[in-house]
């Protein structure tokens, strides 16, 4: 099939596009700029690459038509963040394309009331990003239910992979947290550390999208969680990371007020956004309908990412680093 991947050189697309080429599909990657994928793969030599500023073209009302004019059998949208953009794409593809796959987020759910979170049974989302992702998923379900475009939305957890910093045990992107744990120094955490974080390797998300293409009718009108098999607690995650350096995590519980007072606002806000949700998502539906089976645990995915940061000189960690040099 001819498949157009919007956002093809991003986190998920880096792994998805080569997968689709290996499966025998003709692939068109649409990206805003000329940046390279996060990892090299020879399959990119067979990919048609197109530049498009989606935000600007959506404002001009031409983006959806431009995608439809590429003649895709399938469109995979990895970078849709507003209901308006989703609606415009649906209207442009309706009657012209066989399938639209959308990348959502487990932030479509609000704070965990019970875990694991099963599709269709969660608290209401909050924040513009989560609310929009939830509304997009509902819009797509209704579109298919009404007999329109065949759609499916997949909802990843915290996406991890080589080439970018993973969400750390504090639920933020502060690279200093890795060094603190590697040194065995005290790490101050807000609360008791029982909050949950649910990662997923980008290649496992790519696996799910590839399976959704191959199982179009089984997942028509569905939304599915796509994460690792199990979430991690803040304390458990920190202890695993410290163990990579032959240490145990030395954690000090503080109040949120204390944590905010001593943490840069950007990191403190990101920590709160993740920990207040405390997400753990069920992947039973994706397993049942797609045969999805993540190859990485949460911490295996993170370890690969941390190794990549160290190898590129973006993260300076103390010795010993033996665990970071071993295979998965």
Q: What is the DSSP string of 105-163?
A: -GGGS-S-SSSSBBTTBSPPP-SHHHHHHHHHHHHHHHHHHTTSS-EEEEEE-EEE-TT
- Identify the burial level of 9 via C-beta atoms within 10 angstroms of its C-beta, where 0-12 means exposed, 13-18 middle and 19 or more buried: buried
Averaged confidence pLDDT in the chain: 95
- pLDDT for res 316: 87
Say how far apart CA 281 and CA 294 lie, in whole Å. 13
Q: Does residue 197 contact residue 241 with C-beta atoms inside 8 Å?
A: no
Q: Does residue 245 contact residue 178 with C-beta atoms inside 8 Å?
A: no
Give SS3 for 93. helix
317 Cβ neighbours under 8 A, 6+ residues apart: 178, 179, 182, 245, 310, 324
CATH no. of 161-198+230-279+296-325:
3.90.25
pLDDT for residue 165 is more than 80: yes
**Residue 33 pLDDT grade (very low, low, confident, very high; cuts 50, 70, 90):** confident
- pLDDT for res 82: 97
Stretch 243-255: mean pLDDT:
95
- pLDDT for res 321: 52
Work out whether the CA dihedral 281, 286, 291, 292 comes out positive or negative.
Answer: negative
- pLDDT for res 326: 44
265 Cβ neighbours under 8 A, 6+ residues apart: none
Q: Residues of CATH 3.40.50.720 domain(s) within the chain?
A: 2-159+201-226
Stretch 5-20: mean pLDDT:
97
Helix (H) or strand (E) holding 311: helix 298-311
Say how far apart CA 115 and CA 107 lie, in whole Å. 14
Q: Residues of CATH 3.90.25 domain(s) within the chain?
A: 161-198+230-279+296-325
Q: Please give the model's pTM, rounded to 2 decimal places.
A: 0.95
Tokens of 166: 């993973």
Stretch 151-180: mean pLDDT:
97
pLDDT for residue 195 is more than 80: yes
Q: Does residue 141 contact residue 219 with C-beta atoms inside 8 Å?
A: no
- pLDDT for res 285: 98
pLDDT for residue 181 is more than 80: yes
Does the domain made of 2-159+201-226 have the CATH classification 3.40.50.720?
A: yes
User: Which residue in this structure is represented by tokens 């999805």?
Assistant: 292
Say how far apart CA 327 and CA 1 lie, in whole Å. 36
Say how far apart CA 284 and CA 218 lie, in whole Å. 15
- pLDDT for res 328: 38
Give SS3 for 104. coil
Stretch 52-81: mean pLDDT:
96
Stretch 220-232: mean pLDDT:
98
């Amino acid at each position: 099939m001819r498949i157009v991947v919007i956002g093809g050189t991003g986190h998920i697309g880096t792994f998805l596009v080569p997968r689709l080429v290996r499966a025998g599909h003709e692939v068109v990657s649409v990206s805003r700029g000329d940046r390279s994928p996060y990892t090299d793969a020879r399959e990119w030599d067979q990919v048609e690459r197109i530049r498009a500023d989606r935000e600007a073209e959506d404002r001009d009302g031409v983006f959806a038509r431009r995608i439809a004019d590429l003649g895709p059998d399938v469109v995979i949208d990895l970078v849709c963040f507003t209901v308006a953009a989703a609606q415009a794409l649906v209207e442009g593809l309706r009657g012209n394309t066989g399938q639209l796959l959308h990348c959502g987020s487990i932030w479509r759910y609000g704070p965990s009331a019970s875990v694991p979170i099963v599709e269709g049974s969660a608290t209401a989302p909050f924040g513009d990003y989560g609310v929009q992702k939830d509304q997009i998923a509902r819009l797509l379900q209704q579109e298919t239910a009404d007999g329109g475009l065949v759609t499916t939305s997949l909802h990843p957890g915290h996406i991890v992979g080589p080439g970018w910093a993973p969400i750390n045990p504090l639920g933020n992107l502060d690279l200093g947290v890795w060094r603190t744990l590697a040194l065995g120094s005290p790490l101050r955490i807000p609360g008791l550390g029982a909050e949950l974080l649910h990662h997923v390797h980008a290649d496992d998300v790519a696996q799910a999208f590839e399976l959704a293409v191959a199982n179009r009718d089984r997942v028509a009108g569905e939304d599915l969680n796509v994460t690792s098999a199990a979430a991690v607690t803040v304390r458990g995650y920190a202890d695993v990371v410290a163990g990579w350096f032959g240490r145990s995590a030395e954690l000090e519980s503080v109040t949120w007020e204390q944590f905010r007072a001593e943490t840069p606002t950007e990191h403190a806000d990101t920590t709160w956004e993740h920990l207040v949700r405390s997400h753990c998502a069920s992947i039973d539906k994706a397993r049942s309908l797609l045969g999805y089976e993540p190859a990485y645990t949460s911490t295996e995915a993170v370890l690969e990412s941390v190794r990549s940061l160290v190898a590129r000189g973006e993260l300076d960690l103390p010795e010993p680093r033996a665990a970071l040099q071993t295979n998965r």
